[in-house]
Amino acid sequence: MRALIQRVKKASVEIEEEIRAEINNGLLVFVGISKSDTHSDIEYVVDKVINLRVFPDNNGKFHFSLKDSKDELMVISQFTLYGDTRKGRRPSFSDSMEPVSAEKLFNEVVDMFKAHSGLEVKQGQFGSHMNVQLINDGPVTIWLDSEDRRLPRNTIS
């Protein structure tokens, strides 16, 4: 499972010219689900996201997590995070989970965020064409891949 985490001052998702969700000050998390993802990948990503210290203290040092700050959270499904561009000019999405199973796992991700963060979790609509607007705060953008937890620490660059 992959997550692209962006600390935002503001974010919104629009579907069919209607704003479906919006947040102020918090994290916008794009989630991609691979064919091999399981419940343990969900647990890993959710725990990392809500406990990742990316909010600054008074000295500007990353000291607080989303759980500490009680800021807002928006989660958007994005299968294109598994786009493979190594060959040719068109990305291959062969590592992405097929939509029916991916939607089930994505809903589990959202439910786990709700259960473990204590926050209202805003979200897009799985499988829809969405227009996402954001103001990145910092900018702070973090890449998270659940496969990384399986690698020895010194091999992650």
DSSP annotation of 152 reads -
Give the number of C-alpha atoms closer than 13 A to the C-alpha of residue 17, restricted to the C-beta side.
0
Separation of alpha carbons 62 and 41, rounded Å? 25
Task: Tell me how many degrees the CA angle 93-134-137 measures, rounded to the nearest 5.
Answer: 110
Is 80 annotated in the active site?
A: yes
SS3 content of the chain, % helix, strand, coil (to 5): 30, 40, 30
What is the greatest pairwise CA distance in the chain?
48
Set 80, 85, 141, 155: catalytic member: 80
Separation of alpha carbons 27 and 89, rounded Å? 32
- Give the number of other CB atoms < 10 A from CB of residue 111: 13
Give the residue numbers annotated as catalytic, written as ranges: 80
